[in-house]
Amino acid sequence: ILPQGPPFQAQCFKAGSRVPRPVPRRPLVLDWGLMPAPAEQRLQVRTAATVVCVRRAAAADVAVAAEAPLRRAEADPAEASGDAISASGGGDFAARRRLVFGDSDQVLFNSGWEVLLGQGEVQNWVRSTPEKNEPMRYPGEWKFAGGALDTGETPEEAARRELEEEFMVELPRDHSASRLHLLSIMQTRPVRNVSFIVHNFVAAAEENPWLEELDTDEVNAALARRRKEHSARVADGSFWALGKAEREAVAPEVREVRWLSMRDAVRNAFTSMNPVLAPVNAFQSAEFARLGICRRDPMFVSMVTLLEVESFPCVRSLTEHSGGLDPALELERARWLEDGMTQEEVAAAWEAKVRRSSTRAPMFQSAEDLASLRARRLAATVTAAPAAGQPPAAEQPD
């Protein structure tokens, strides 16, 4: 499970309560601050990978989405109503508004993409003890399959393994029958003195029969059986005698797997950063109450990744983008922290990164930029010759 940005400070308030917090004014900068670590500790940089599984929505669902924009009043009622805490927010609060809504009060997601996400468990059973319940990182959030590389793995191998382990998907042993495309490489800010260089891959159902034919009901039934077996071990006490590796083999990590519309996926990530607690569903709400968790962890990086996928009008556009990437160059561009840095060096590197952001704009910084990018990609798709195995441009969805 990958860090998206430092979690909020631990403050407990009832659901719906307002949480006072300092808000910096610098644009497009996360406002949670670097997670503190002892001064003598040095930074660890690790490599990780995620898989964003997508498919085309049914025509009827696309038509419904065209009539159901995401409104700011729905995504953050406090901000939309002019609440002082949300409305005055700078930093990531301002960045998320610009990225999703721009200058508008609503946004339409008309790419037709649906995303396969897994809602994580809230309790971390591997780290918990009979005396103390430990929460997951990003507890109860809808996430991509992903995690750190094992020794000797490539990023794509790790992405495939994590997809199989977390979403209980059986991929073809022949890699040519399971196509993953590199979407981006990024480096996260340190959380508990660890920074991840994350390779984001995309798998499209149009190219992958195993994904097109995936039975999510079957997957969820298997996840339910795992929870039942685990609960029995906890009840009879045998779970607590297991070693770490044995616990990992039986403890539940994902609660449910589901195809979500891009609208709902972005909304869930967006609301994770609301200053007023807004659980994604009843399960997360009940588990937060049980474990005394008061704030959701911010899903900013997932939100940006989802918006980037939204900018591709079709699979061909996505594959052309991926084919044009030089992984070595993308890795060089993404890396801004090095293994072994002191806390002072990390802080200096962050300040330098912030200064560069004012002169080196990312691919898109606002909803208007995103719409323009998608229009350019759509125009390029329409005018380009059909790629091998793809229908003519006129048949591509818009």
CA distance 380 to 321: 11
Helical segments of 326-395, H only: 327-334, 343-357, 367-383
128 contacts: CB under 8 Å, gap ≥ 6: 134
pLDDT tier at 63, thresholds 50, 70, 90 = low
Task: Let me know: does 140 contact 128? Beta carbons within 8 Å.
Answer: no
| Cβ neighbours around 15 below 10 Å, total | 12
- Alpha carbon distances (Å) from 330 to 97, 308, 337, 363: 27, 16, 14, 13
Predicted local distance difference test score (pLDDT) of residue 383:
75
> What mean pLDDT is predicted for residues 267-279?
92
CA distance 169 to 210: 8
With DSSP H G I counted as helix, E B as strand and the rest as coil, what are the percentages for the chain, rounded to 5?
40, 15, 45
Looking from the CA of 56 toward its CB, the CA atoms found within 13 Å total 15
Radius of gyration, alpha carbons of the chain: 21
pLDDT tier at 351, thresholds 50, 70, 90 = confident
User: Would you call 48 helix, strand, or coil by DSSP?
Assistant: strand
Q: Per mean pLDDT, which range of 13-27, 56-70, 235-249, 296-310 is the poorest?
A: 13-27
- Alpha carbon distances (Å) from 92 to 39, 41, 202, 311: 26, 27, 25, 21
Q: Which helix (H) or strand (E) holds 301?
A: helix 300-310
306 contacts: CB under 8 Å, gap ≥ 6: 52, 115, 262, 265, 266, 269
Task: Let me know: does 30 contact 300? Beta carbons within 8 Å.
Answer: yes
Residue 8 predicted with pLDDT over 60: no
Residues 190-204 pLDDT 10s: 877 888 899 999 999
Q: Per mean pLDDT, which range of 126-135, 187-196, 207-216, 265-274 is the poorest?
A: 187-196
384 contacts: CB under 8 Å, gap ≥ 6: 316, 320, 393
Predicted local distance difference test score (pLDDT) of residue 58:
82
pLDDT tier at 363, thresholds 50, 70, 90 = low
160 contacts: CB under 8 Å, gap ≥ 6: 51, 171, 175, 178, 180
User: Cα torsion at 246, 248, 250, 256 (round to 10°)?
Assistant: 180
